Amino acid sequence: MSEDLKISTSREEGEKAVVVMRLNGSLDANTQSALEAKAKEAVDSGAEYLLLDMSGVDYLGSAGMRGIHAITNLLSPDDTSMRSDRLKVINPSPAAAKIFKTLGFDSFIDIHGNIDEAIAAL
């Protein structure tokens, strides 16, 4: 487990304002706030939907999951449903996929194999 998380972002052109955030490293208590800040920056600049590419996440801790939950609230502050329609996860690493499944987050956040699938599901 490292204390580093690299986050790169790109915009996908189309009918909806979509930002893809590619995560590489550990998503934990040391890096959760960086993820939340990057997501807020994207939303403040007009993103309506965020796609988290988690193929490079080598460790996902409970604080990282809290950060992901905070992003769902940021995207839909008035939505009282448990399911997120504005946040999708793309190609999670085996470590991240196991945590999503173990904690049941895969019931609330859609997980897709690639960007095209995720965008088609928006």
Question: What count of other Cβ atoms lies within 10 Å of the Cβ of residue 113?
Answer: 10
Q: What is the CA radius of gyration of the chain?
A: 13
Mean pLDDT of 104-109: 91
- Under DSSP, is residue 84 helix (H, G, I), strand (E, B) or coil? coil
CATH value at residue 108:
3.30.750.24
SS3 content of the chain, % helix, strand, coil (to 5): 40, 30, 30
**Domain total for the chain?**
1
What range does the domain containing 104 cover?
A: 5-120
Handedness of CA 87, 70, 54, 21 (dihedral sign): positive
d(CA 112, CA 11): 18
**pLDDT the model gives residue 83:** 77
**For 29-68, what is each residue's pLDDT tens digit?**
999 999 999 999 999 999 999 999 999 999 999 999 999 9
- First-last CA distance in the chain: 33
**pLDDT the model gives residue 84:** 83
Name the region of 59 (left: φ>0; alpha: ψ -120 to 50; beta: rest).
beta
